[in-house]
Amino acid sequence: MTITDKDVRDRIRASVIDPEIGINIVDLGLIYGIDVDEDTVDIDMTLTSPGCPAGPQIIYDVKQTVKRSFPEVSQIAVNIVWQPFWSPEMMSEWAKEELGIF
């Protein structure tokens, strides 16, 4: 079975919730890119702020979700990037509606 970036994104969407906001991190716009190459998954993501207290837990949850969902993956890298800096405009329309942002 070939794993795609969409497969990884869908699993993260279903499993990794920002504990402070209560919305999954994909719809929050925190996942910037996913690269799947055979048995390696590289994820570029950000946090809502550099001092996000939930950051270590979110990163751990992303790694564990990929590891559990795709046991054939031998390497998982989660890279925290700050460019572009996250803003509420990056959220999906669904997330904006859930949070009352219009």
- pLDDT one digit per residue (tens) for the chain, 102 residues: 699 999 999 999 999 999 999 999 999 999 999 999 989 999 999 999 999 999 999 999 999 999 999 999 999 999 999 999 999 999 999 999 999 987
CATH 3.40.30.10 assigned to 5-99: no
pLDDT at 1: 67
The tokens 């009352």 sit on which residue?
100
Q: How many whole angstroms separate alpha carbon 56 and alpha carbon 58? A: 6
pLDDT at 7: 97
pLDDT at 38: 87
Question: Against a cut of 0.85, is the pTM above it?
Answer: yes
The domain limits of the chain are 5-99
